[in-house]
Amino acid sequence: MVAKEEAYQTVRDQLAALLPGCPDFVAAMATVAAVLNDNLDHVFWVGFYLPEADGSLRVGPYQGPAASTRLPPGQGVCGAVARSRASLVVPDVAAFEGHIACDPRSRSEIVVPILVGEELRAVLDLDSDRKSAFDEIDRQWLEDVATRIV
């Protein structure tokens, strides 16, 4: 198993090579999801949810098992991040009131907003089958990733 910091450095390097000249936002999200999924051992699902006019979130590019195609407005970890526009690390999803269980294996989660100014373009969502899999290291690196895809 690769150390977390080393894995994120690999992610950064791969994205630096792949994202410049990327044709559009969807292609960038798909690339980010694939690179994160390939390099992070503590993740079993990584993807994006995109805001809809009614406040709901619809699934975008992702890697992993099937996901909820639509999340109701303001609900779950992704909805909380869409509202607050701030990253959220959830060490135990069972303890998060209103958690939406897309996959019963999910034990912890991190969600990072993708912003252009104040506009929410998407949320980046990563799930792990281990409790407390995400920490400040993940938050810092994923917030950096978020700035690279818009």
Evaluate if residue 96 carries a pLDDT over 90: no
C-alpha closest to that of 102 among 127, 69, 128, 68: 68
pLDDT for the residue numbered 150: 84
- Tokens 């929410």 correspond to what residue? 120
- Tokens 């949810």 correspond to what residue? 49
Residue pair 93/101 in contact by the 8 Å Cβ criterion: yes
Task: Give the number of C-alpha atoms closer than 13 A to the C-alpha of residue 73, restricted to the C-beta side.
Answer: 4
CATH code, 4-148:
3.30.450.40
Q: What CA–CA distance (Å, rounded) separates 27 from 30? A: 5
pLDDT for the residue numbered 44: 93
Handedness of CA 75, 29, 12, 43 (dihedral sign): positive
Q: Mean per-residue pLDDT for 19-25?
A: 93
Evaluate if residue 29 carries a pLDDT over 80: yes
**DSSP secondary structure letter of residue 67:** -
pLDDT for the residue numbered 105: 81
What percent of the chain clears pLDDT 90, i.e. is strictly above it? 83
Query: What is the reported pTM?
Result: 0.95
- The secondary structure of 83-124 as a DSSP string is HH-S-EEES-GGGSTT---SSTT--EEEEEEEEETTEEEEEE
Q: Mean per-residue pLDDT for 7-29?
A: 96
How does residue 9 score in pLDDT terms, banded at 50, 70 and 90?
very high
Quote the mean pLDDT of the chain. 94
Evaluate if residue 99 carries a pLDDT over 80: no
Sorted by where each begins, the domain ranges of the chain are 4-148
How does residue 94 score in pLDDT terms, banded at 50, 70 and 90?
confident
pLDDT for the residue numbered 1: 58
Angle at CA of residue 106, ends 118 and 32, nearest 5°: 45
Residue pair 65/44 in contact by the 8 Å Cβ criterion: yes
C-alpha closest to that of 100 among 76, 79, 80, 83: 76
Q: Mean per-residue pLDDT for 33-40?
A: 98
